Amino acid sequence: MKLAFLIYSWFPHGGQQRDMMRLARECIERGHAVSVYAMNWRGPRPEGLRINLIEARGFGRLARYRNYTEQVRRALTVDPADLVVGFNKMPLLDVYFAADPCFAEKAQTQRGAYYRFTPRYRHFSDYERQVFGEPSRVQALVLSERQRDEYIRHYPGCAGRLHLLPPGLSEDRRVAARDPRARRGCREELALSRDEKLILQVGSGFRIKGVDRSLRALAALPEPIAGKCRFLLVGRDRPGRFLALARKLGIRDRVTLLPGQDNVARLYQAADLLLHPAYAESAGHVLLEATAAGLPVLTTATCGYAGHIVTAGSGQVCGEPFSQRELNGRLLQMLEQLDSAPWSDNGLRYGQNEELYNMSRAAVDFLERHKELLFRAGS
């Protein structure tokens, strides 16, 4: 097949971006040709992947998105693809890989009534309807049952076009046991003492990942536990407002920021707990990565993969609606029980499940089947 992958932006450590790259590599290994259309690309350019940079112009992000759509439309007219696969919601798609949460759900539950009168709301609502609304025929690969239910709630006619994928952990995330040497070495690099507890949060987009919630939970810890806890935030975003919040809460000296990195697995070994109280998350691969590494997890029910934490018994999940008091209490409880609870061992066992590593294979299987169905319908 000749495939066109559409994504606004690619950088090395975003979850959406990693998923796109895994699918692209799987496609290339099977002999398919993949062309990517992106407005910007930061990082290496893998061999065999054709990257087309679109110089989308316009005043403001929405105008650039619309200009990107039109430029890609023209490019695909000149150089057609057998299937157009999008990793952001937009027109032109045959298949949408649902890396983003349902916009209609976010607008309804996380924004005030005024938001529905803004240009941003009109733009993203229109682009989402072109994927999930009637009379669209776009097939969507969804990452969790929660995500599927949200789309069906807002777009009832799309149910037959939603296809649930298994998780997509990389095979190098599978481990048999915690690694004391890696833990010791990484903690030395971070200047952590033996009795300090390292609370880790990983993810780009600090606001939606709930970093403010994490900081407030850390500030709520009682002494002497608070004095023995360090918070490490790893990801890509503008940190200014969150550092200001840490200063306001009196915990700036216990907060460390690191940019996104390839070797985050070492941090899973060094840490004592993964904290991920996201406002919204289609999946949350970091939850499964930490679980498979034997790192206990504290997260929120709004994450698509939160159910895996419950099934695995690898941590705790805050309920809905979110309560900061509940998060504060669960964090304290987990820190007090780290030495006695079975969360780490449960996670390591769960991480041996083969189904956790099948996303890219299942997704490309679907693309091949879908192309065959389109070919038959056309003939």
In terms of domains, do 80 and 222 share one? no
Query: Token pair for residue 289?
Result: 């990565």
Contact 17, 24 (CB under 8 A): no
Residues 161 and 180 grouped into a single domain: no
Report which secondary-structure segment, H or E, holds 377.
helix 359-378
| Dihedral of the alpha carbons of 355, 360, 362, 366, in degrees to the nearest 10 | 170
373 and 257 belong to one structural domain? no
Residue 291 is predicted with a pLDDT of 98
Cα–Cα distance list, 216 to 109, 210, 212, 273, 290 (Å):
22, 10, 6, 16, 22
3-state secondary structure of 36: strand
pLDDT tens sequence across 255-304: 999 998 878 999 999 999 999 999 989 999 999 999 999 999 999 999 99
User: Residue 278's closest CA among 235, 219, 229, 228?
Assistant: 235
Distance of CA 226 to the CA centre of its chain: 29
- State the pLDDT at residue 189: 95
Q: Can you give the CATH number for the domain in which 275 is found?
A: 3.40.50.2000
Percentages helix, strand, coil for the chain (3-state, rounded to 5) are: 50, 15, 35
- Kindly state whether residues 162 and 186 are assigned to the same domain: no
Kindly calculate the radius of gyration of the chain based on its CA atoms and give it in whole angstroms. 21
pTM: 0.91
Pair 296, 182 in one domain: yes
Element (H, E) at 212: helix 211-219
Task: Compute CA distances 347 → 178, 294, 317, whole Å.
Answer: 11, 5, 14
- Region 197-201: mean pLDDT is 98
Determine phi and psi for 133, rounding to 5 degrees: -80, 180
Residue 213 has pLDDT above 70, yes or no: yes
State both tokens at 134: 């009637």
* One domain for residues 196 and 300: yes
Q: How far is CA 16 from CA 239, 313, 328, in A?
A: 21, 26, 29
User: Do 14 and 112 have their domain in common?
Assistant: yes
Give per-residue pLDDT as tens, 59-78: 999 999 999 999 999 999 99
State how far the Cα of 86 lies from the Cα of 367, in Å rounded to an integer: 12
Tell whether 119 and 265 lie within a shared domain: no
Residues 324 and 367 grouped into a single domain? no
Same domain, 282 and 178: yes
Paired with 229 in beta bridges are 197
Boundaries of domain holding 46: 2-166+358-378
| Whether residues 226 and 102 fall in one domain | no
Non-local CB neighbours of 356 within 8 Å, separated by 6+ positions:
166, 167, 169, 288, 292, 350
Residue 128 pLDDT: 98
In this predicted model, what pLDDT tens digit does every residue of 96-139 receive, in sequence order?
999 899 999 999 998 999 999 999 999 999 999 999 999 999 99
**292 lies in the same domain as 251:** yes
**Scanning the structure block, which residue is given the tokens 């997890």?**
297
Percentage of residues in the chain with pLDDT exceeding 70?
98
Tens digits of per-residue pLDDT, 76-89? 999 999 999 999 99
110 neighbors 104 (Cβ within 8 angstroms):
no
Confidence of residue 378 (pLDDT cuts 50, 70, 90): low
Total domain count for the chain?
Answer: 2
- Per-residue confidence (pLDDT) for residue 90, from 0 to 100: 97
Residue 193 neighbours by CB distance under 10 Å: 8
